[in-house]
Structure 1
Amino acid sequence: MEHFIKVEPDVDIFVHEVNPEGKKTILFIHGWPLNHNAYEYQFDYLPAMGYRCIGMDTRGFGKSSKPWRGYGYDRIADDILCVVRHLHLKDFVLAGHSMGGAAAIRYMARHDGFCVSKLALFGAAAPSLTIQPDFPYGVPKEAVTQMIEQTYQDRPNMLWQLKDMFFYQKLSEPFLNWFFQLGLRAAGWATADCAVTFRDETLFFDLGKINVPTLILHGIHDRVCLFPLAEAMKKGIRNSVLIPFEDSGHGLFYEQKDEFNAKLAEFIG
């Protein structure tokens, strides 16, 4: 089932729904620079267990509208709220990877966790993807700035190089090409503006506002969102559990997909 949900007069968010009759609902927020198709191997597995799985393309990515502006965490959190209200979601699990995890955290803080019963974070870009004066655990801001510049100069090459940083395991060339194609479906300006957001915005004050059970899954070899970020989230979010993935980088939802799906399903219940 597919929907286009209007979040602003000129902005529609694409939503793909699998097993609408499922017993429990999971709303997946993808990471940069992908789209909901990144969760293909969750949508293959979880609906068969009776779960209702919903994936949305955040603005600027996949099949969603690609406005010129509006790529901060607040606006993306507001888009999530529009989807939640349009679909009348209740007691659902909000799940986010990378920048999508950061957007999910902002949703919890900005909208008081509206209708969310549990939160799941995968390699999330929080509380700060980049190094801050009092937070030495991220990547250098200069590295993200370089990616932004590469996006405007040669976006396909930037995306092609990203795949080598994204995964820890050696994966097939056809899979890596498929992954590369996901990033090409985004708008260049959206790709760059989102990178500005995760370079400059932080979520330190958001963590303490989360009041639902939270599962943190994070690859110990993650070179995009370094593992100390997961430890900081565990420390900052009450009632949270951190499970390290020993054989994964940033793409843990594929690199250890069987363990990932099992841990997620166990958490959802």
Structure 2
Amino acid sequence: MSKLDVEVDTLDRHVELFYEDAGYGFPVVLSHGWPFDHGTWEEQRAALLDKGCRVITYDRRGFGASSRPQGSYDYNRFADDLAVLLQHLDLRDVTLVGFSMGVGEIVRYMVRHLGQRVSRLALVSSIVPSLRRSADNADGLDELVFLRMAADIRSDRYEFASRFTDLLFEGDRESTVSEAQKRWIQSQINDASTEALLACIQLFQEADFTSELQNIHVPTLVVHGTGDRIAPIAATGARLAQMLPVCVYEAYQDAPHGLFATHAEQLSANLLELVRTPPTVTLPAATA
């Protein structure tokens, strides 16, 4: 296992991204969700390595051990950071896995960088196509939800971290996540940049990836919990699966948003099955 820092030359400045690269087999790159860091993938990372994969996890700018540049948080920059990481490691035939906000980052990468180096996608607990309620997304979240989150972070970000961690696993009937594990996950939120936390909430409120999904034509796994109270499945995962041309849809019964922990073994098994999928690409139909 190696722990390295890579200097990423982005549109505006040099940004240092922290990543871990281990193993020697099929490359799997895991993009974490908001407001956490790469550590949330601990269970899946171990399972993938055990089955002979090469696994790369990293911290998004503003989170974990990566740089925290001022005024530099949007999906284009996140996608560009990912592109430079893939190029830096010269990865090919990659399986890209995104959790929650990481799904938006991956979708933007696939469009903005034409899906280069990527053969398969896994989109877990997605916030895509969009989170905000609209005429096209009646099951989305009301604008007041985002405003309240931002206000709570400004008021007491540590209290917000505690409540958000509880919400991450709310509805987990078997209580599979220990209090110690919750405290560890909460510590990731505590360590994030306040500016990055607030900027990403604005992105959640504004972003709509509906028009971008038609450009994705690689085998894709969509995983979502029916009990998700952060990104309701009817507004996100279910709609996402309908919009993708090459998709396997797994709805985990009663699973919460944080299914990377509550359903770790099941998710790892689904990811391993995806990694073994032949890297075929379905092209869009020709137009007259």
Range into which the TM-score falls when normalised by the shorter chain? over 0.9
Distance 1:175 1:57 in 2: 19
Corresponding position: 1:226 with 2:232: yes
1:129 aligns with 131
Q: Distance in 2 between matches of 1:264 and 1:143?
A: 32
Instruction: Tell me how far apart the structure 1 counterparts of residues 85 and 113 of structure 2 sit (CA, whole Å).
Output: 13
Cα drift, residue 31 of structure 1: 0.2
Q: Which amino acid aligns with 1:201?
A: A
Aligned residue among 203, 207, 223 for 2:213: 207
Question: SS at 1:227's partner residue?
Answer: coil
Aligned residue type for 1:238: P
Give structure 1 stretches of 5+ with no counterpart.
none
Shift of 1:32: 0.2
- Conserved in 2, the CA contact under 8 Å of 1:247 and 1:255? no
Q: Give, in angstroms, the shift of residue 113 of structure 1.
A: 0.7
**How far, CA to CA, are the matches of 2:198 and 2:8 in structure 1?**
21
Match of residue 237, structure 1, among 220, 223, 244: 244
Where does the alignment leave 5 or more consecutive residues of structure 2 unmatched?
277-288
Look up the match of 2:89.
Answer: 87
Decide whether the 8 Å contact of 1:13 with 1:56 is kept in 2.
yes
CA RMSD of aligned residues (A): 1.1
- DSSP 3-state at the match of 2:221: strand
**Distance across 1 between alignment mates of 2:240 and 2:59:** 25
Aligned residue-pair number = 267
What does residue 183 of structure 2 align with?
177
Query: What secondary structure, in the 3-state scheme, does the structure 2 residue paired with 1:45 have?
Result: helix
Give distance in 1, aligned partners of 2:83 and 2:150: 28
Q: What secondary structure does 2:163 align onto? A: helix
2:263 counterpart of 1:262: no
Shift in Å at residue 114 of structure 1? 1.0
Contact 1:218 1:245 in 2 (8 A): yes
Cα displacement string for residues 233-269 of structure 1 (whole angstroms, at most 9, x for unaligned residues):
1111111111011141101111111111111101111
The runs of 4+ residues in structure 1 deviating greater than 3 Å are none
More deviation, 65-74/88-97: 65-74
Q: Deviations over 1:221-242 (max 9, x none)?
A: 0011111111111111111111
Counterpart code for 1:120: A
Per-residue CA shift, 1:171-205, capped at 9, x if unaligned?
32111111101111211111111111111111011
- Partners of 1:247 and 1:232 lie apart in 2 by 18
Deviation at 1:153, TM superposition (A): 1.5
Which residue of structure 2 aligns with residue 162 of structure 1?
A: 164
User: Which of 66, 77, 89 in structure 2 is aligned with 1:64?
Assistant: 66
In the TM superposition, what are the counterparts of 1:43-122 in structure 2 within 5 Å?
Answer: 43-122=45-124
Q: Percent identity?
A: 31
> Per-residue CA shift, 1:92-147, capped at 9, x if unaligned?
00110000111111111111111100010000110001112322122112101111
Q: Could you say which residue in structure 1 is the equivalent of 2:14?
A: 10
